[in-house]
């Protein structure tokens, strides 16, 4: 494959790899230092967009294959992970865009074997092995297609148990209920709920808020969200005006998610109760590359560079290049 006008296939591949990891100008400087080869920042951008577009097409072909209906006569593909218990996470972040284009929302997904939690690297730091990723800069509907393909790629059809962990976005819970089935365990991010309770405690109790918040947090952690709700309802009955309105908001939030807040049970069963893994994914896949200081993106350019980064994260780079070279 040679999308470049002057670059060799080998150099084109290196340019695409570097362009996915840092700014086009910084990638140009890195290449000059490492190989004593001069390729302009604009050429880095052109190659990244062309190669990324091809990677995006290959990724969508893969998604279509994973989402293909299966039957005894037409079994599905062998998944890349074989977990007994599969954890699936989703979240979203945004990319700053050029003037005249609204900031672009980018959705990220991560799937992993729960048995991989707790492993540590050589420095003793915990990490998640056996993870795979999905992302979309198109829209939520496109992302859910890619998220389902990710789940199936990671063994959804064979896993004994599946848990979906996310924040309070209603669209995500609706998708999880309809797609993963009634047996799926839905877990609302513990720390996201704690943030709501922290802000409410500050609004209600001023400087004395930490004591109330810590008590609420402990109740939540031990699956006593109903105790917190009872306390808030009593405060609401005595409240007026803005205070009552504020309590109504948070009571509604907790009531809507209470069935996803059985944190003591989730912990006993070994499930994660926080979505830190997907927040880290958003930072790595999106913010590290698209959120560099001063960067402003055209919306149409985001999917191509994102496809390069997802291919790197999933270890698909060599396979995609092999398929492009064979085309």
Residues of the chain with CATH 3.30.420: 85-189+274-281
What kind and span of H or E run contains 237?
A: helix 225-238
Distance (Å) of CA 247 to CA 28, 53, 193, 200, 221: 54, 48, 14, 8, 21
Count Cβ neighbours within 10 Å for each residue of 199-229 and write b for 16 or more, e otherwise.
ebbeebeeeebeebbeebbebbbebbbeebb
Which neighbouring-strand residues pair with 94? 105
How many Å from the N-terminal Cα to the C-terminal Cα in the chain?
Answer: 8
One digit per residue, the tens of pLDDT, for the chain of length 327 reads: 444 457 899 999 999 999 999 999 999 999 999 999 999 999 999 999 999 999 999 999 999 999 999 988 888 899 999 899 999 999 999 999 999 998 899 999 999 999 887 665 566 555 566 799 999 999 999 999 999 999 999 999 999 999 999 997 899 999 999 999 999 999 999 999 999 999 999 999 999 999 999 999 999 999 999 999 999 999 998 878 888 999 999 999 999 999 999 999 999 999 999 989 999 999 999 999 999 988 899 999 999 999 999 999 999 999 999 999 887
Topology, domain 85-189+274-281: Nucleotidyltransferase; domain 5 (3.30.420)
Cβ-based neighbour number of residue 26 at 10 Å: 15
Q: Which of 116, 111, 170, 173 is nearest to 146 (CA)?
A: 111
pTM given for the model:
0.91
């Amino acid at each position: 494959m040679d999308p470049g006008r002057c670059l060799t296939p080998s150099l084109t591949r290196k340019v695409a790899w570097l362009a996915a990891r840092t700014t086009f100008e910084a990638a140009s400087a890195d290449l000059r230092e490492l190989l004593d080869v001069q390729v302009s920042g604009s050429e880095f951008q052109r190659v990244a967009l062309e190669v990324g577009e091809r990677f995006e097409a290959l990724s969508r072909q893969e998604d279509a294959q994973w989402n293909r209906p299966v039957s005894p006569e037409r079994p599905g593909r062998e998944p890349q992970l074989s977990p007994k218990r599969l954890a699936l996470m989703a979240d979203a972040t945004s990319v700053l865009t050029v003037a005249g284009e609204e900031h672009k929302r980018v959705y990220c997904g991560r799937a992993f074997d729960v048995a991989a939690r707790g492993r540590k690297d050589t420095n003793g730091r915990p990490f998640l092995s056996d993870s795979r990723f999905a992302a979309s800069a198109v829209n939520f509907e496109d992302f859910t297609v890619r998220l389902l393909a990710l789940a199936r790629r990671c063994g959804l059809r064979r896993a004994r148990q599946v848990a979906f962990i996310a924040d309070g976005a209603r669209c995500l819970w609706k998708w999880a209920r309809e797609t993963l089935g009634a047996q799926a365990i839905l877990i609302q991010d513990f720390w996201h709920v704690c943030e709501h309770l922290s802000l409410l405690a500050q609004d209600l109790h001023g400087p004395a808020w930490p004591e109330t918040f810590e008590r609420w947090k402990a109740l939540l952690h031990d699956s006593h969200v109903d105790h917190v709700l009872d306390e808030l309802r009593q405060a609401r009955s005595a409240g007026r005006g803005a205070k009552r309105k504020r309590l109504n908001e948070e009571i509604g939030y907790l009531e809507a998610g209470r069935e996803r807040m059985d944190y003591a049970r989730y912990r006993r069963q070994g499930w994660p109760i926080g979505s830190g893994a997907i927040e880290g994914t958003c930072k790595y896949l999106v913010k590290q590359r698209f959120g560099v200081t001063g960067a402003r993106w055209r919306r149409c350019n985001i999917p191509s560079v994102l496809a390069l980064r997802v291919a790197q994260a999933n270890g698909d780079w060599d396979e995609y290049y092999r398929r492009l070279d064979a085309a």
